[in-house]
Each structure stands twice: as structure tokens, then as C-alpha cells.
Amino acid sequence: MKKHVITFMLIVSSLSVNAQGIKNLLSDINFDISASLSMSNCDNIYDIRKYGIAFGLDARKPILNYPNDRSTIYGLVGLHYAKRGGRITADIGDIYTYGKSLSASYIMLPVHVGYSYQFKKCSIFIDLGPQFTMMVGGEGDANDKEVELSTLEFGYSGSLGIRFKHFAFAVGSHNGLTKFGTHPNSIGEYGNGKINLKNRTEHISLIWTL
């Protein structure tokens, strides 16, 4: 009986330690909801910007506070939804290609490290890091059905902004390092008859801290 009591007490103690560790991990986390105006295009073919709306949820946690209590280094992980793509550049009078567009819906996961500096009534911040992206839907004009969109994309993103007590304004960008998709072409890259498309996006965001 005594042995069972000791085992039970050890289990309870272990659970208590784990619960305290989780509590410490979740402490000081701030959650941000963002709404953004995005402007995206590709580095080849679809290089005219398309405008859209993006939404996101970010979790921020301080990693290091400096002694003056003004400077903070923080980590950020987010979950965002946005449409990205572009429109085709064409010579004047080229009716067949002018105005054709391409867009895809994406779920994006940024993993950033940031720095903020606190003033009396506001703070400025900057963050940067990798971004993992998964396509959840794509569309194009009828003449662009041969465009092959990539399901997964990897790149980097960052933002710069000013934060008040419960809201912030920020500008930022995303640049794809892997291909957004491929477009059929008579010459193409590497002689394979296709042009690789890489996406880049700029955005202006309004952020609300819960």
C-alpha cells in the first residue's frame, strides 16, 4: 500500500512540474490579429501587381529583455491567409496576352525573430525570418490552364511598424525562394520549355493585440 502511495505522489509531482513548465512557456505571450492590403506579382511573366486582402493571427513571446526595459527581442509564429499572383505584361496591342492573371490562395506560416524599442507612448518594431507556405486553391484565365502552380513554397518575410497599446501599423514583404509555379514557354529556363515563377508580395497591415 505504501509503495502505491509513493508512486501516486511521484506521478502527481511530475504532472505538477510539467504543468508549471507549460504555464511558464505560455506566459507573456501576446496574440495579434491582422488585416492587410497586399500587392503581389511574380518575377517573370506575371509581373504586374495584383491587389488583395490578407488576414493573420500571430503569437509573440519576449525572449530577452535588456536592463533598460526599453529593448526587447521576441519570437513570433503566425498563421496567415492570403491570395497572391500577378498579371501578364504584354506589348501594346497584344490582345491575346494582355490582362491575363494568375492567383492562388495560400496558408502561410512565418517564424520570425523580432526587435522592439519602447518609447513613452509607443514602440517601434522589426521582425524577419523564414516563411513556409501551402497553396489551398488557385485560379487563372482560360488561356493559362497550362500554368502549373506549386503546392508548397518556401521563402522569407519581414515587417517594420509602430505599436501602440492595443493596435499597430506595419509594412512588410514576402519573397519566395522556391518556385510559385511554372509557365509554358518555347525557350524556357534550362532548356525545359518552361519558365519558373517566383512570387513577391508587399503589404500594409493593421494589427490588433488581444
Give pTM, 2 decimals: 0.76
Q: Which of 8-17, 72-81, 82-91 has the lowest mean pLDDT?
A: 8-17
Instruction: Identify whether the C-beta of residue 138 lies closer than 8 Å to the C-beta of residue 101.
Output: no
Average pLDDT over the chain reads: 79
Which one has a higher pLDDT value, 45 or 32? Answer: 32
Model confidence over 33-74: pLDDT tens digits?
999 999 988 877 778 888 888 999 999 999 988 767 789 999
CATH class of 29-209: mainly beta
Give the Cα separation of 206 and 38 in Å (integer): 12
CB 159 within 8 A of CB 175: no
Rounded-to-integer distance, Cα 125 and Cα 119, Å: 11
Q: How many CA atoms lie within 13 A of 35 on its CB side?
A: 2
Q: pLDDT-based confidence at 93, cuts 50/70/90?
A: very low
* 143 vs 135: which has the higher pLDDT: 135
CA distances from residue 5 to 1, 8, 18, 114, 179 in whole angstroms, order as listed: 6, 5, 20, 48, 60
* Between 190 and 137, residue with greater pLDDT: 137
155-197 residue pLDDT tens:
999 999 999 988 999 999 999 888 877 777 655 455 556 778 8
Looking at residue 100, its pLDDT comes to 72
**Position 199 confidence tier, pLDDT thresholds 50, 70, 90:** confident
DSSP string, 16-54: HHHHHHHHHHHTT-EEEEEEEEEEEEESSS--B-EEEEE
What pLDDT is stored for residue 96 in this prediction? 47
Q: What is the pLDDT of residue 103?
A: 78
The three cell numbers locating residue 8: 501516486
Distances (CA, A) of 144 to 13, 46, 141: 62, 11, 5
Considering only residues 122 and 101, tell me which one the structure prediction assigns the higher pLDDT. Answer: 122
CA pair distance 70, 8, nearest whole angstrom: 46
> For residue 13, what is the enclosing H or E element?
helix 2-26
